[in-house]
Amino acid sequence: MNSAQALELISHLLEVTMFVAGPVLLASLLAGLSVGVMQAAMQINEASVSFIVKVVSVVGVLVALGPRLVSYAVDYTRGSFAAIEHVVR
């Protein structure tokens, strides 16, 4: 294995990580940002409101996209295990 192949493996790993974690993190970010703006506008300082909205949004994303995200991660893992013999040589 040369350095170009190693960089390709690392690049694919980061791509899979962003694909799997991205939607969940984006939903949490958008929910927290919108609740923060609403709390600032209404002058409400309650941390549990933001937490509950984030949990609901993350659960919603996981219910909607969970099977696809898991299948993508499982396919990557199977491919990684299958490529061990080529990487070790």
Which string of DSSP letters, residue by residue, matches 39-70? HHHHT---HHHHHHHHHHHHHHHHHHHHHHHH
Phi, then psi, of 44 in degrees rounded to 5: -105, 125
Q: What are 85's two structure tokens?
A: 């013999």
The answer to whether the beta carbons of residues 23 and 69 sit under 8 Å apart is yes
Condensed to tens digits (0 to 9), the pLDDT of residues 10-60 reads 999 999 999 999 999 999 999 999 999 999 898 888 888 889 999 999 999
- Give 6's pLDDT tier (boundaries 50, 70, 90): confident
Say whether pLDDT at 72 is over 90: yes
41 burial via Cβ count (<10 Å: 0-12, 13-18, 19+): exposed
pLDDT confidence of residue 83:
83
Domain positions in the chain are 3-88
